[in-house]
Structure 1
Amino acid sequence: MWWNQPLGNISIDNEIVLEWWHKEKKLTIYVCKNSIDYIKVWGSDMDNEMEDGSISLNENELTSLWKWLTEK
């Protein structure tokens, strides 16, 4: 699968923020003290072209997010 280094940052709330872009898609992962959340973006319409949620460190969940980002 395609791979690129993420843009890494630390937010004002001390979250680790990792972002990847691939074509028109963006995947952002927020690592907090008690949770890991994600936002998938594939357009500018917040109601129809974005999805957010929480994830665990389950390999299947992480693989699913990565496949979404890298698929055509």
Structure 2
Amino acid sequence: MSGVLPVIVHPPSPTGGRRVRVDGTILGLAYNARDIAEFLRRAGLDDFDETDVETSALIEWRGGGPEVWSAP
């Protein structure tokens, strides 16, 4: 994965979790920032951790930021 592609974290689903997508490809369903960091490590960002997930401009949060994990 290129370091310039935006990561989109979709709003929480009614059944739990947030879909994570890069360049149109769904990486998985995350239930916390640790899950997103793992998806990004598997995609080639080896040094990406939970703090990076919460602060990176690379990530576009939809439907709430890194503190939102359940649907309203």
Please give the TM-score of this superposition, normalised by the length of structure 2: 0.34
> Bigger radius of gyration, 1 or 2?
1
Higher normalized contact order (CA 8 Å, seq sep 6+, divided by chain length): 2
